[in-house]
Amino acid sequence: GIQVEQSPPDLILQEGANSTLRCNFSDSVNNLQWFHQNPWGQLINLFYIPSGTKQNGRLSATTVATERYSLLYISSSQTTDSGVYFCAVGSGGGADGLTFGKGTHLIIQP
């Protein structure tokens, strides 16, 4: 099956800093999503981005499908950005079972 690697595993930053999270995957995909898991465990959708670039406020993401990686950018970090960020991929269409990376644990200090 597809392998998903996320880096870095942990990241500690000061409020106001920018960060880049990376997701590498081992095979062609037609579904790639970024999630933020809140302290209660719910996965919050950030981006559905099997290719291209999208932006939503302080967050943006880029997927280069031909090179099998995706990047999530967080600018001007806030303490509420803390949590675990997951990349998940699927190869069978938008509703296929997702394979998740192990996540990046982000801590934003005031």
Partner 1 sequence: KAGVTQTPRYLIKTRGQQVTLSCSPISGHRSVSWYQQTPGQGLQFLFEYFSETQRNKGNFPGRFSGRQFSNSRSEMNVSTLELGDSALYLCASSPASRGQFFGPGTRLTVL
- Where does this chain bind partner 1 (CB under 8 A)? 31, 33, 35, 40-45, 48, 86, 88, 92-100, 102-103
Rounded distance between C-alpha atoms, residue 99 and residue 89, angstroms: 5
Residues 6+ away with beta carbon under 8 Å from 67: none
- Give least dist CB 54 to partner 1, A: 12
Helix runs in the chain, H state only: none
- Give least dist CB 48 to partner 1, A: 3
Closest to 27 in 3D by CA, of 86, 82, 87, 91 = 91
**Smaller CB separation from partner 1, 58 or 102:** 102
